[in-house]
Chains A and B, each alone.
Chain A
Amino acid sequence: MDRLVKDHNEKSQYDLYLQEIEGIDDYWGPTFRAVFDNNEHVEFKEKVEERIKHHDRDIERLCNVYYQGFIESVRELLEVKSQSKNLNNQVVAIDKHLQTTSQAISKSGAELLKARKVQSNIAVVIAQLNLCLPVFLTYSKLQKQISDKRYYPALKTLEELEHQHLPHVSNYRFSNQLREKIPKYRDKIEAASMSDLKDFLENIRKFSPKIGEVATRHTSEQLATDPTVIGRKKKRNLTNQDSTTNFSEEDLSAQELIDFSPIYRGLHIAHALGKVSNFEAYYRAERTKQARLVLQPPTNMHESEESYRNYIYAVLGFFILEDHVLNTGRGLITKAFLEDMWSMALSKITTALQTHSAYCTDATLILRIKDLIMLFCTTLRNYGYSVKPLWELVRELRDHYTEVLMQRWVQVFREILSKEDYQPIEVHNQEEFEHVLLTFPWDGDLPDDVTFPYSFPFSRMVPKIYQQVKEFIYACLKFSEDLNLSQVEVDEMIRKSMNLLLTRSFSGCLSSIFRSPHVGLQEITQIIVDTGYLEDANVYLDQFISNITGEESRGATVGTIQGQYGMFRVAREDAVRQISEKLRQKLNEFLELETYDWTLVEPKGHASSFISDIIAFLQTTFHSFTHLPPEVAQVACRSACEHIAKSMFAMLMNTEIRQISMGALNQLNLDLLQCEQFAASEPVKGLQQDELLAYFAKLRELLDLFITWDWPTYFHDYAQETSKYKKVQPDIAIVLLEKLKEGDRKNIFTVLNKNERDKKKLLETVLKQLKQLSVK
């Protein structure tokens, strides 16, 4: 370029143009104009040609200069080309290699990414699940509790679930479902608890008799071991001790036998549900219903002790449970409610027991019932119930018991009496002898050396009756056992019962014996003798009672006169009456054989045979019945004489007999003489000399008056104490006189006789006189 610039400088102007053209790529116009403007274009054209030739030479020289280098460069380039190709191959291989390697990496990377994503997802889920888990746990707990019937915890769990856990998971659908389910669960729990309560109620209804039984047993054990109860229970104590050891597993208090939890649970649940009042009302209503059922005694209760027992146990069990519920049930029932129910029950029980026991005719059963009632009372009292009306019932029962005992003993007495032979006991050896003395306390005079066969004065009935009275006393006593009566009361009760037994039952039995036609004088005589010995034995009975009751013997006190002898006296008096009665019957049989000929002209000179027979019979009788107590014999003899006298007198006065002859009167006189002789002969020892004669006195005076015809004396002494005929009343004399007059009329022919006429006249006068007296 420096040469171009030198050419330009050398040729001056043209060079400048060339320079300009060369220097400027475009905008060549102004230059060309300048060239054209100076008219130099041909010179310029040469110059440009020269210039082009110059440049071509330059180019040629340059190409010469650079050719070698060019070749070399091509060569080098070729070399580079192969090298670059090589390199390219290398790069491609590397790239390929890299490509494969990176592909695995990217895959792992992708996987990693995915895993990372999963991991984070898992973390989120875990967090969510942690939120939900308590809900489910609680829920499952709830389910389990429900299925375990642990409703109260279930209810609590439900609450927890509702208020603690569910709010955290409210965005879940199950939460809503759960929420919806909650009230249902509540209802279900309530229903379940109610049904539990029902089951419980049913259960205790079934179980309460058992409770009653256990409670009763406990009471009886307690009574038995109670040191305050006096010694009379010792026997039972012993027997009980064995049995108590066996009870050990059952040695729970009665109410412990029952699981009350359903009721508490129910109550809790009701509390939790806020339905306590419902629950209470239900419980009370149900129990009231049950009470009514329990209190309804079985219709055939009076038939067996078992039914009484069941009834009592059921009632007892019921109220024990109720008491327990009262104490532990937190106001499920109130004291007032229970008391109401109890007072209702009490009256029902009393009535039920009253009616049923009234049917009972078995003394043993009554005893058992009494024991039951007593245990019932004691047990109830232990539980704080008032049992007063039941005591009253027991008292009534006691009366009934005594009544039943009486009836039983009436049977016993009847049996004894029916098997009785009314013979003095005859023993043949020492053993029998002692046996009799053992069974009957007799302090009579025993011979020093007893010779066998030995006869006791009394019959077998005596020891038997004595034993039976003792048995009766024991039986009576059985009732007062455990009754916590004072000794005085027991004593009084026994004495009263015994008194009744002897005065009423025993006497009644004897009386019915007397009524029997087969019982003769000798049986009654033996009965009298026997009752005498029984009476004597009263002292021992008295001691016996005193020993039992510990009360002082009444023997020493005022009771003796009325109480002691009164007991057999009724029987004895009846017997004495009977002996007179039997004797009279016999006499009547004789008297029926009376064969007076009332128109007899002449007496036969000896007594009528029926009178002789009577007298002989009486003599024999009083002679034979040597063992008849004298006072009884006296009574009998008096009554016999009185009866004969009256009967003979009645014969005279008999209105059917219209006529009587003097001969007949004389015959009667003979008979009367016979009687008087008997009366005066002291047929029975200890009678006053004239006592028996007095019975015949009236007849005697009448006969004397008529036979002696001593009317003047009669009228003279009439109504005076000293009169020989003071017992002859005018109207009686009139009757007899009329009969005599009738009798005389027969002898119509004698009327003509003057003597007879006077006689007749006298008779009329006497009659008139008598009639006057009679009117007075």
Chain B
Amino acid sequence: MAKTYDYLFKLLLIGDSGVGKTCVLFRFSEDAFNTTFISTIGIDFKIRTIDLDGKKIKLQIWDTAGQERFRTITTAYYRGAMGIMLVYDITNEKSFENIKNWIRNIEENASADVEKMLLGNKCELEEKRQVSRERGEQLAIEYGIKFIETSAKASIRVEEAFFTLARDIKTKMEKKLKEASNPPKGGHQLRASEPQKKPTSWLSRCTLL
């Protein structure tokens, strides 16, 4: 069966409740915006295929619930993720401060080489801004990750954010593929979608029971 894509990247959106993760995703996947706030329950995902340097890349983007009560469920998804968007709300100081906790979470649960990116959302609400762009940039530099201020509502730089993350993952993956000059098995190379460095993902643990 002909594959409809070259790569499958699993991305994860995390951040405090209400920073606009679902909206960012909604903007990216449907190019739409919904004003009513619906708190995400558990986990949801959207899929969008993008064209990147001539490759068809399927992005399966997991949208996690920011609420504490879903924390155990959502952390389970960290490991499978190849890219993580850390989202905070520029009008909400607390959500920015919590980014550190989220990063700690990632360090504890995600694979070490996961691509991360910091998003300062709701940048259209300039008059309500509590977190300056500089502080965002400062934080990003501290952790060695990229930073973009976005607005899901005004559709500012959302595409760009995802494309950037996807491109970074792609670059990293292609580099690894090149390094692994001797792929272990014949059919494996085609299966770029599979996370390379995680022969036993948490998901497969069940299988082995």
Say yes or no for A623: interface residue by CB 8 A criterion: yes
Hey, which chain B residues are within 8 Å of A597, CB to CB?
187, 190-191
Check A677–B43 contact: CB distance below 8 A: no
**Nearest A residue to B72, CB-CB:** A623
Known: A518-B26, A592-B4, A613-B80. A624 touches B34 (CB 8 A): no
Say yes or no for B70: interface residue by CB 8 A criterion: yes
**Nearest B residue to A597, CB-CB:** B187
**Shortest CB–CB separation between residue B155 and chain A, in angstroms?**
16
Say yes or no for A609: interface residue by CB 8 A criterion: yes
Q: Which residues of chain B (31-48) have a CB below 8 Å from chain A?
A: 32, 34, 36-45, 47
**Shortest CB–CB separation between residue B40 and chain A, in angstroms?**
7
Hey, which chain A residues are within 8 Å of B186, CB to CB?
601
**Shortest CB–CB separation between residue A488 and chain B, in angstroms?**
44
Mark each residue of chain A from 590 to 632: 1 if its CB lies under 8 Å from any CB of chain B, else 0: 0011011111111000110100110111001101110000000
Say yes or no for B208: interface residue by CB 8 A criterion: yes
Among A518, A593, A613, A624, point to the contact of B203 (Cβ < 8 A).
A613
Cα A586 to Cα B32 in complex, Å, equals 19
Known: A593-B193, A612-B207. A606 touches B38 (CB 8 A): no
Hey, which chain B residues are within 8 Å of A621, CB to CB?
42-43
Cα A520 to Cα B43 in complex, Å, equals 11
Check A595–B193 contact: CB distance below 8 A: yes
**Nearest B residue to A522, CB-CB:** B41
Hey, which chain B residues are within 8 Å of A522, CB to CB?
38, 40-42, 44
Say yes or no for A654: interface residue by CB 8 A criterion: yes
Among A586, A617, A677, point to the contact of B206 (Cβ < 8 A).
A677
The B interface is mostly helix, strand or loop, or mixed, namely loop
**Shortest CB–CB separation between residue B190 and chain A, in angstroms?**
7
Cα A612 to Cα B203 in complex, Å, equals 6
Residue among A593, A654, A673, A677 with max Cβ neighbours from chain B (10 Å): A593
**Shortest CB–CB separation between residue A522 and chain B, in angstroms?**
4
Hey, which chain B residues are within 8 Å of A609, CB to CB?
80, 193-195, 201, 203
Known: A518-B30, A597-B191, A600-B187. A421 touches B36 (CB 8 A): yes
Say yes or no for A674: interface residue by CB 8 A criterion: yes
Check B194–A421 contact: CB distance below 8 A: no
Say yes or no for B1: interface residue by CB 8 A criterion: yes
**Nearest B residue to A651, CB-CB:** B1
Check A654–B1 contact: CB distance below 8 A: yes
Check A517–B1 contact: CB distance below 8 A: no
Check B191–A624 contact: CB distance below 8 A: no
Check A517–B37 contact: CB distance below 8 A: no
Say yes or no for B60: interface residue by CB 8 A criterion: yes
Check A617–B1 contact: CB distance below 8 A: no
Say yes or no for B181: interface residue by CB 8 A criterion: no
Mark each residue of chain B from 1 to 37: 1 if its CB lies under 8 Å from any CB of chain A, else 0: 1011000100000000000000000100010101011
Hey, which chain A residues are within 8 Å of B32, CB to CB?
518
Known: A609-B193, A612-B201, A624-B43. A670 touches B207 (CB 8 A): yes
**Shortest CB–CB separation between residue B34 and chain A, in angstroms?**
6
Hey, which chain A residues are within 8 Å of B80, CB to CB?
609, 613
Known: A607-B207, A623-B73. A598 touches B36 (CB 8 A): no
Check A595–B73 contact: CB distance below 8 A: no
Check B191–A620 contact: CB distance below 8 A: no
Known: A422-B38, A624-B70, A625-B41. A595 touches B191 (CB 8 A): yes
Check A616–B203 contact: CB distance below 8 A: yes
Among A589, A613, A674, point to the contact of B207 (Cβ < 8 A).
A674
Hey, which chain A residues are within 8 Å of B45, CB to CB?
586, 589, 617
**Shortest CB–CB separation between residue A400 and chain B, in angstroms?**
35
Hey, which chain A residues are within 8 Å of B47, CB to CB?
589, 592-593
Say yes or no for B200: interface residue by CB 8 A criterion: yes
Check A616–B76 contact: CB distance below 8 A: yes
Known: A518-B34, A620-B73. A606 touches B204 (CB 8 A): yes
Closest 3 CB pairs of A and B: A624-B42, A612-B203, A606-B204
Can you report 12 A-B residue pairs in the complex whose CB atoms are below 8 A from each other? Answer: A422-B38, A520-B44, A525-B41, A592-B47, A598-B1, A607-B203, A615-B203, A615-B206, A616-B76, A623-B42, A624-B70, A670-B207
